[in-house]
Chains A and B, each alone.
Chain A
Amino acid sequence: MNNAIEVENLTKYYPTARSEQGVLAVDHINFMVKQGEIFGFLGPNGAGKTTTQRMLTTLLTPTEGRILINGHDLARDSYPAKRQIGLVPEESNVYTELTAWDNLMFTASLYRVPRHEREKRAQELLETFGLYEKRNEKAENFSKGMRRRLSIAMAIIHKPSLLFLDEPTPGLDAQSIHAIWELIRRMNSEGTTIFMTTHQIEEANQLCERVAIISHGKIAAIDTPEKLKANFRRVQSVEVAFDNPLPEKIQGLTSLPGVTVQVKVGDKIRLYTEDPSMLLPQIVHYAEVNEMRIVSLNTLGPSLEDVFLEITGKQVGIVTNESLEKKPTRRGMKGGRQ
């Protein structure tokens, strides 16, 4: 079986006014995506995610390297590869002056979907995405979530075997996010390979069979989410919630033996440690001594977010024992772990 994507030594320099070679955005990366896989491409802003995806979809010319899409070399003959690709860019690029129906008819015609199938597929997709009732409304009247759904429908009307999604869900409400996740899973179960770039770690954790983490233009790690987490056991933590958390007493938790970092996560305190089993009784004792009632107490393995932050060079958590002496401990960090 062919790989859906094979990337060898892919490199991109953006030319600048000062030099033709310019700024390095992607630095000799290698990876492959198997057919039928959901592959996540993670990285912080400016790491090279979108640049890589634009090269994979022929929108950007690589400076160096080779890309094979379903066995077709993009540099030599991109036509057969383009027929098999669907692209959902970060911005929902629908034609707002056209109705939802006309947007789909236009894309179907552009991809030469046989005339007798166009209307059938458009109807199916509009029903799937909950847009059928709005099919004759111009997209300028659509909400962000509706435009996103229409944009995805336009990208898959020709039934691509490989779908590229660039940041599929940022800024959407929870209902739209779950609808899109469900659609991605369903398309994948029907055989479509999914390549998605995202900086939403939980999204990758929920959907992807394998992820690559790109940092400063280089692939820093590539594996299944669980294997990546297993390699980062040192970022285990204990999460505790109290019903009467006094700030000065919460600060004191950082001084418990084995605590490396303390982070406030909503109404909970997350204490990073290499040995949660040793820390648990100490937290209970600390609560007793300080007359604090524990509402919940959980041990947590490393999340994909922890792995991501470790790999991309950002320290897990914000407050360390050392910094606690100089700064207040309250500093938010998004939760979201399994």
Chain B
Amino acid sequence: MTRGRGSSHLTLAAAALGSAAALAAPAFAEAGSQWRIEPARTTIAFAIDAVGYPRTEGRFDAFDGKIAIDFDRPEKSSVAFHVCSASIDVGSATFSDYLRSSAFLDAGKHPSIDFVSTSVEKLSDHAVRVSGDLTLLGVTKPLALDVDVERPTGLKGPLEFSARTRIDRLEFGMNSGFPLVSRDVDLTIKSAAAEL
């Protein structure tokens, strides 16, 4: 249920994709090409440490992302990502249920974790910085993500992107178990998007 983190990753990734595409394919003149995330090739994973407890690693299985890429003007690209917070999976049904509860993701009240980009900046031919707003537990905070972008199969193929970041869960009011449970949540997003 708590795939919010994943969604934020996705959003970031999507943003990264857009920027990467812009970087990699200057020949593509059509502004605002539309891309869709391929769920089967997308992983939104998170990890969090706790005192005297194994590192908790999990992922979000349900998400939806849209990317608009302007190859001529990368800064005009955008990404919107939504992760279903209830789709959290940490390898134990009871543990996942607990993380969906009000102690953490509060999936009943906050079913979606959202990332919406506000700007995209090209860093290199294979990297973009996607800045945007991450909404978790109804709290919106700015988040910037450096996204690596690859297009392994050539100009017509899907874009692959990956990003890692760390968020402070306390900023979103997710205080349960702190300081026993770390405030830092590591997010890892890997995804692929195909042009529509």
Bound pair (A, B):
no
